[in-house]
Each structure stands twice: as structure tokens, then as C-alpha cells.
A and B are shown apart, each in its own frame.
Chain A
């Protein structure tokens, strides 16, 4: 089912029209490289942020080396290092009712591992996309074409889920981050080794 096309910056309520919405997934997919060179290793990550816009601890950074939030509300289903496989190649599953009350936002990031050394960007990757799906109804909420619309980027804040006036809302961000996944994590307060 085709997802809603949201313009960057727009937001929509997930729970206003569907107050029971609880299980959401963020899916990242792309085609494996057919041309010569290093494989494209795209990564989906999530950061749980408090009201101050920072993580509560490094445990709030969900990525390939730390796939589950302490409360189980956000679970990364595993790292795909080449894009092999149909459909979503990486999935982050979210259970909204399990998200800690002090978490105000969940930020979703897509990035290319070793983009700088491999001199890669999203535009070089075939059919790269990320999407948000209501896991209970299987309805795709939104899809973002990374290959087309994030072409020169190597790391991007794709979207956010956030609380607003008692609802969970989705916001289409689609903004690049020049300092990569490490930069995003550091800016949100994650202490990296």
C-alpha cells in the first residue's frame, strides 16, 4: 500500500486517527551493489531523547552494536551489510506503549557505514529508501526515496516520532548531517568510545 508522501518539515498525528496505534516499524532498504567497489552498507539507527533533546544515557542509542533499548520499546532487528534480500533490509521495531514516560522524541537516522573512506553517498546506491509502517495494519505511513532525494548525503536524520499534547506524532525531517552517525550521536549526548 502506498505511503503518504510528506513534504520535509511536515508532521502528522499517528494516534489521533488511530488512538490504539502501538507497534510501528522503521524500514530501510536498498539494492546490493552490482558495480565494482566496496559494498554499500547502510545503517538504520534510533535515538531516544528526553525533554532536553538529549539521550538519558548511551543506552538510548539503538544501532548495530546495541540493538535493543533497555525497556525493549525499540528493537533493531539486525545489521545488513550489503542490501542483500528483498524489501526492508534493516528494520527497527517500536512499541509506543513501552516507551519510557520521560522519552519525548525518537529520532531515526540512516547512514552509510564508512562513507568517507569508501567515498560513497546515498545517490550512488540503487533504490535506497526508508519508510515507516504501522505494524498492526501493515499500512505504510510514509516512504522517503534516499537515492533520489538525499543523493549527496551520507547520513541523514530521516524522521522523528514525538509526543505532542498526548499524541504520538510523526515528523518528516529528511535533513543531512555532515558529521555522520558519530556526529549525530555526539550531538544528542551519546558518549562514544
Chain B
């Protein structure tokens, strides 16, 4: 099954495309910078969120400084700071069966580190994309072209994986976040120093 190419602003349920995710892989990729200036350091992150829209604790924020959730349901494969390497440069693996019962959704965020100071946005990065793969079927559920369709953004809530009845479903969000990763985390209840 070919993946859906998400256009900016689209927000849709893919239940027919991929009913029942159990193991999801979030992939983030981009090309290293060939022009003069600081490297593009893109980051994939995930937040485990309750039904009330907040995390239970700071443990529920999976990112470059905290690579796995306490229950091991979400594991970040490591920070890539330049985009060096083919294919996905960062990956987050999610075992949905292991996610605690009080978590209603997992929010997936992509952002550019130090975007303000470096005056960077996704449009300046070559071939930046993020995608969700159903690891059991190897089906790419969605791929989003950050370079083309999130050009002016520096941080974006890419997608949500949420409980629906007895299953996990996927929702493509693709909406920018003006206050960056810090802003996203804070809004979901993470306490940052």
C-alpha cells in the first residue's frame, strides 16, 4: 500500500488505510548542509499524553536527552545532529501494546535545534521528511515533506497516535508550533528548568 502524502493543514483519520497499529516507527530524515553556515540539527520527539491533554510527569517526554519511556514502550534511537547518513536519520520506536492504560495519545513532534539563534527553518533544509511506518506490515502510513510543505516552520506537531475503542489509530496533524520544542513540551505539562 503506498503511503499517503500529507499536504499542509490536512488533518485526517487513516483508520481505513491502517487499522490497528501495534508497533510504529517514526522516521525523520534530511540531507546534511552543503552551503555555508551552521548544520541543520533536526530532532524527533514524542510525548505520552493522558486524556486530559497533559503528560503524567517529565518522564513522558521522549527526546534527545531522555531516550526511553519508563515502561520501555517508546525508545528513541539516538540524536543525529547533521543529517549524515541515508534514509531515516532519527527514529523513534513505539510498542503500543506496552503503553500504559492511562495514556490516551502519543504526540509526535519534529523540530530544529537552535532554530531561532541559527535563523533556520525547515524550508532551508534539503529533503527533510518525517514518516510513520507500521512496523508489522512495513507499510509507510504517511510521509510528510517538511522542506516543501513546512518551509516557514521550525517546529511541528507532525502526528498523533491515539486510542480509539480497543485499537490505536493514527492522525496526521502537520501543524507548526511557533514556540518551538520548548513551547510544545510546556504546553503538554512538561516542567522545564
Binding site for B on A (CB under 8 A): 7-11, 153, 157, 164, 171-173, 175-178, 187
Q: From the candidates B34, B36, B151, name the one contacting A9 in the complex (CB within 8 A).
A: B151
| In the complex, residue of chain B having the shortest beta-carbon distance to the beta carbon of A183 | B34
CB proximity to A under 8 Å, residues B95-139? 119-125
Does A176 contact B37, Cβ atoms closer than 8 Å?
yes
Does B35 contact A11, Cβ atoms closer than 8 Å?
no
Chain B residues lying within 8 Å of A8, measured Cβ to Cβ, are 119, 121, 123-124
| In the complex, residue of chain A having the shortest beta-carbon distance to the beta carbon of B123 | A9
Chain A residues lying within 8 Å of B124, measured Cβ to Cβ, are 8-9, 173, 175
Q: Can you list, as one digit per residue, whether each of B148-183 has a CB less than 8 Å from chain A (1) or not (0)?
A: 100110000000000000000000000000000000
Chain B residues lying within 8 Å of A153, measured Cβ to Cβ, are 36
Chain A residues lying within 8 Å of B125, measured Cβ to Cβ, are 9
Q: From the candidates A157, A171, A177, name the one contacting B123 in the complex (CB within 8 A).
A: A171
Interface residues on B, range: 10 to 19
CB proximity to A under 8 Å, residues B1-59? 34-37
| Given A7-B121, A9-B120, A9-B121; 9 other pairs, CB 8 A cutoff | A7-B152, A10-B151, A11-B148, A11-B151, A153-B36, A173-B35, A176-B35, A176-B36, A176-B37
23 contacts between A and B (CB under 8 A): A7-B123, A7-B152, A8-B119, A8-B124, A9-B121, A9-B122, A9-B123, A9-B125, A9-B151, A9-B152, A10-B151, A153-B36, A164-B148, A171-B123, A172-B123, A175-B35, A175-B36, A175-B37, A176-B35, A176-B37, A177-B34, A178-B36, A187-B34
Query: B-side binding surface: helix, strand, loop or mixed?
Result: loop
Chain B residues lying within 8 Å of A10, measured Cβ to Cβ, are 121, 123, 151-152
| In the complex, residue of chain B having the shortest beta-carbon distance to the beta carbon of A175 | B35
| In the complex, residue of chain A having the shortest beta-carbon distance to the beta carbon of B125 | A9
| In the complex, residue of chain B having the shortest beta-carbon distance to the beta carbon of A178 | B36
Q: In the complex, A178 Cα to B37 Cα: how many Å?
A: 9
CB distance from B41 to the nearest CB of A (A): 15
Chain B residues lying within 8 Å of A172, measured Cβ to Cβ, are 123
| In the complex, residue of chain B having the shortest beta-carbon distance to the beta carbon of A12 | B151
Chain A residues lying within 8 Å of B37, measured Cβ to Cβ, are 175-176
CB distance from A54 to the nearest CB of B (A): 13
Does B148 contact A177, Cβ atoms closer than 8 Å?
no
Chain A residues lying within 8 Å of B36, measured Cβ to Cβ, are 153, 175-178
Chain B residues lying within 8 Å of A187, measured Cβ to Cβ, are 34
Q: In the complex, A173 Cα to B36 Cα: how many Å?
A: 12
Chain B residues lying within 8 Å of A157, measured Cβ to Cβ, are 35
Q: In the complex, A178 Cα to B122 Cα: how many Å?
A: 21
Chain A residues lying within 8 Å of B119, measured Cβ to Cβ, are 8
Chain A residues lying within 8 Å of B151, measured Cβ to Cβ, are 9-11, 171
CB distance from B60 to the nearest CB of A (A): 32
Top 3 A-B pairs, shortest CB-CB distance? A9-B123, A176-B36, A175-B35
Chain B residues lying within 8 Å of A9, measured Cβ to Cβ, are 120-125, 151-152
Q: In the complex, A9 Cα to B123 Cα: how many Å?
A: 4
CB distance from B187 to the nearest CB of A (A): 24
CB distance from A101 to the nearest CB of B (A): 21
